[in-house]
């Protein structure tokens, strides 16, 4: 399917995102910060980036700004997936050109549905509308382990399709 770059300095998040994405037939490459991500992007063709905001050396916001300043990456879908729900982070990411801003925790099914939408692929998992996501209970032991962050809740701040 797609080559996805996961940028996060927290190895548990990298492993969990990688597992979820690989279960859906994506190839995953990881980076520990924005500088490492830029090196990965120079070495291979990436279809989508999922990045945290707070990382050492080069944070996700700076990475996003670097990508949007480079004509090669101006249309590359970039999902900000962060534990930060501060309004200023949301505003800055939107202004910098993020495709989607999600706050942790996020359900694995919702993340996969958003990835499929951004890649223009058919969605095997029904997705909630872009405007809101309802809290849910895990429906199996496997689902309860397939979440990024605690508790089991997805929050959508905005997506590029809802920008004015």
pLDDT the model gives residue 4: 97
Domain ranges (residues) in the chain: 3-162
Length of the chain: 164
Question: What is the CATH topology of the domain spanning 3-162?
Answer: Rossmann fold (3.40.50)
Contact between 100 and 163 under an 8 Å Cβ cutoff? The reply is: no
pTM for the model: 0.75
Which residues make Cβ contacts (< 8 Å) with residue 128, sequence separation at least 6? 110, 113, 134, 154, 156
**pLDDT tens digits for 84-122?**
777 888 888 888 999 999 888 888 899 999 999 999 875
pLDDT of residue 54: 87
């Amino acid at each position: 399917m797609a080559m996805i770059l996961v940028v996060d300095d927290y190895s548990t998040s990298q492993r969990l995102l990688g597992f979820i994405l690989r279960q859906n037939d994506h190839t995953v490459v990881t980076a520990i910060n924005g500088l490492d991500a830029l090196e990965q992007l120079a070495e291979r063709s990436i279809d989508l980036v999922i990045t945290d905001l707070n990382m050492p050396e080069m944070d996700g916001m700076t990475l996003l700004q670097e990508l949007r300043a480079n004509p090669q990456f101006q249309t590359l879908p970039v999902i900000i997936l962060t534990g930060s729900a501060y309004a200023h982070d949301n505003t800055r990411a939107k202004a910098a050109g993020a495709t989607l801003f999600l706050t942790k925790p996020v359900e694995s099914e919702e993340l996969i549905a958003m990835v499929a939408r951004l890649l223009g692929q058919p969605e095997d998992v029904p997705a909630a509308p872009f405007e809101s996501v309802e809290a849910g209970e895990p429906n199996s032991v496997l689902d309860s382990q397939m979440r990024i962050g605690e508790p089991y809740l997805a929050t959508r701040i905005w997506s590029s399709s809802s920008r004015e």
